[in-house]
Structures are given as C-alpha cells and as structure tokens.
Amino acid sequence: MTVIRPLATLMLGILLAVAAHAVDTEVPLADPVQQERYETLIHELRCLQCRSQSLADSEVDLAGELRSEVRRLVAEGKSEAQVKAFLTARYGDYILFRPPLNERTWLLWLAPALLLLGGLLIAWRVVRHRTGLVSGDPEEFDAGDREP
C-alpha cells in the first residue's frame, strides 16, 4: 500500500503560502465603473493554485499577478467579456467560476429549468390522481387537523 503524502496537506500548504501580494491593496481605479468591474471580475475568476478561492480572496503570488493583469485590462477600457476572453484564451474555461454557456455546458445551464418543469409536471400528475381518490367522507379527518 503506497503511502501518498496527503494531497490535502499539500493543497492546504499552497492555500496558505505567504506571498508578496497577500491581499489586494492597490489604489482603487479612478473611474468607479471600472473599479466595480474590476471587483466583480476578481470575484468571478478562480485562483489556479488555491482552486477553491477566487482571485479576490487568494493570497498566492499568481493571484496577485492575475489581479494586476485584470486591473491593467480594465484600466485600458476592456469590458468584462473581453477580460474574461483574454484570460480564457490563456488558461481555458477553468479559470471562470461561472461556466460559460456553450455547446458543452448547455445541459448544465438548462438543467434547473428542465428539472423544475419535470418535477412540477410529476407533482401535478400525482396530485391529480390523488384528488380523484378522495373519498366522499369528510369526517374521516378533523376539519382542522394540522398536526405534523
């Protein structure tokens, strides 16, 4: 039985690595619209070393550098979509917290609506069936029986 150095420890180590730009202390961008776009973006992009954190929350070097890139692009006037395109061209869709909507992810995005419709349809059929089975005897249960 091989003993594998716990992956958890490794990842936790990376998670907590003290780095040069631990927390984002840059001066806010002059244009408030751009600043807000920047803040939205860094919360929507994944840190690639500490995979469960966003760029905003991650303390590692790479996150700081990517934040700088995002800042630079936003300051140049790029839109949210353009910044995301820039990063996905280099790192793939993985860097997005919110999966894109394309021919591979349509099921993921359509699932809530599909399941909701399906579920409600099933519920409707069940209730309709049961309504037909209600006996004509109204005294079987107390008028206000609400005991759980």
Partner 1 sequence: MKLRFFLPAAAVAVLCASLWYGLNAIRGGQYDPQLIESPLIGRAAPDFIAENLLEPAQQVARSQFLGKPFVLNVWGTWCVGCREEHGALLAIAKETDVPIVGISWKDDRQLARDWLAQLGNPYHVVGVDPEGKIAINWGVYGAPESFLVGADGRVLHKRIGPMTLDIWHQDFVPLLKKTGSSPQ
Partner 2 sequence: MTAELGQIALILALCLALGQAVFGLIGAGFGWGNWMAAVRPATLGQAGFVILAFLLLVSAFVGNDFSVQYVALNSNSELPTFYRVAAVWGAHEGSMLLWVLILALWSAAVALLSRSLPETFSSRVLGVLGIISSGILLFILLTSNPFLRAVPAPFDGNDLNPLLQDFALTIHPPILYTGYVGFAVAFAFACAAMIEGKLDQTWARWTRPWTTVAWLFLTIGITLGSWWAYYELGWGGWWMWDPVENASFMPWLAGTALIHSLAVTEKRGLFRNWTLLLALFTFSLSLLGTFLVRSGIIVSVHAFASDPLRGIFILGLLAVFILGALTLYAWRAGQLRSDAGFEWWSRECFLLLNNVLLVIAAVLILLGTLYPLMLALMKLGTISVGPPYFQLVFLIPVLPLIALLIIGMHSAWKRARIAPLRQRVVTCLIVGALGAIALSFVYTGRVRAMVLIGLLLAIATMASAAWVPFDYRQRRVPMPRGALGMAIAHFGVGLFAVGAAVASAYQIERDVSLAPGQSANVAGYEFRYVTMRSVEGPNYHAREADVVITDAQGGLVTTLHPQKRTYLVQQQPMTEAGIDVSWKRDLFVALGEDLGNGAWSMRLQYKPLIRYLWLGSLLMAFGGLMATTDRRYRTELAQARAETTVPVRP
Q: Which residues bind partner 1 (CB under 8 A)?
A: 48-49, 61-62, 65-66, 68-69, 88-92, 94
Query: At closest approach, how far in Å is the CB of 80 from partner 1?
Result: 18
Supply angle C-alpha 35, 72, 57, rounded to 5. Answer: 60
The CA distances from residue 11 to 64, 85, 116, in Å, are 18, 28, 37
The whole-angstrom separation of Cα 66 and Cα 55 is 7
The whole-angstrom separation of Cα 95 and Cα 98 is 9
34 binds, among partner 1, partner 2, none (CB under 5 to 8 A by kind): none
85 touching partner 2, by CB under 8 A: no
Judged by CB, which is closer to partner 2: 5, or 77?
A: 5
61 touching partner 2, by CB under 8 A: no
**3-state secondary structure at position 45:** strand
- Chain positions 101 to 130 lying near partner 2, rule: CB under 8 A, are 104-105, 107-108, 111-113, 115-116, 119-120, 122-123, 126-127, 130
133 touching partner 2, by CB under 8 A: yes
Judged by CB, which is closer to partner 1: 57, or 61?
A: 61
The whole-angstrom separation of Cα 60 and Cα 49 is 8
Query: Which helix (H) or strand (E) segment is 118 a member of?
Result: helix 106-131
Q: Residue 66 in contact with residue 87, Cβ under 8 Å?
A: yes
Query: At closest approach, how far in Å is the CB of 7 from partner 1?
Result: 8
69 binds, among partner 2, partner 1, none (CB under 5 to 8 A by kind): partner 1
